[in-house]
Amino acid sequence: MTALEQHAADYLQIRRALGFKLERAEKLLAQYLAHLDTTGQDRLTVENALAWARLPGAGVSGSWWAFRLSVVRSFATYLHAVDPAHEIPPADALGRRIRRSVPYLYTEQEISALMAATSRLRGQLRQTTYRTLIGLLAVTGMRVGEAIRLDRCDLDVGNGLLTVRESKFGKSRELPLHPSTVTALREYLRVRDAHQNAQGSDAFFISPAGTRLIYCNVHATFRQLRADAGLRPRSPVCRPRIHDLRHRFAVQTLLDWYRDGVDVPPRLPLLSTYLGHTHPRHTFWYLQAAPELMAIAGQRLEAAQEPQS
């Protein structure tokens, strides 16, 4: 292990002790350090960080370049404190900052189209796996990483509970499931367990090879399903992503509460807990950019301002 690799390992350990997963950051840092090793460099500089972030094949998106650089910049800030010889790339070195995408709020018809598109995938197991995965994300608001880390033992069929273990910030939680969701998960397990490569795997969702699903492969397959379902971006910053199923769940839950006449504010901590947030303020990001919510807010404001008879 090189000195830079040891520093990277120490950096990741410290960040993870604070609750960060950093799975993608670990892969990108390994690629960056491999690039430095190949080019015979042992010091982090603005020049080599920018050169790596914009390597051919890394993607044509400026936001992706900025994200790659942000991973290096975070490590560089730590490294500079250890040895000032290492340089910290400026936050705006690529002429742009990372912006959070505008949530793409799926309609019921679009979710149905995504699930129907799984029939074009090769093999019954792969079709059933992705159809069930998309359905589960849509009705629970789980993170993709949480879903693919599930084990078979995490489903309690008798009590209709799904246990999400050691998720973001080391938190675990139990998710009550609707009976129809339990039925769908049981049907998936029937198909899964009948597959020739299923034996010996603890993972709930498996690939045709019998292995646990890989995060980047799930995203690649979702892009294929998105295209087959005919979903298109609503704007340059509002594109249908698999993570937006989580946004949709949060917004739909709030809409249902409003339509049922529920006093919403006291219930927000329940939604935050279900989503795995440590504080209700973290849930508000999922509740923006929804025209339906804005309409309800406007109606309530007008009702409050009407003179009392």
Q: Catalytic amino acids?
A: 143, 168, 243, 246, 277, 286
The sign of the CA dihedral 295, 141, 234, 287 is positive
Q: Cα–Cα distance between 138 and 181 in angstroms, integer?
A: 11
Q: Looking up tokens 């399903």, which residue turns up?
A: 225
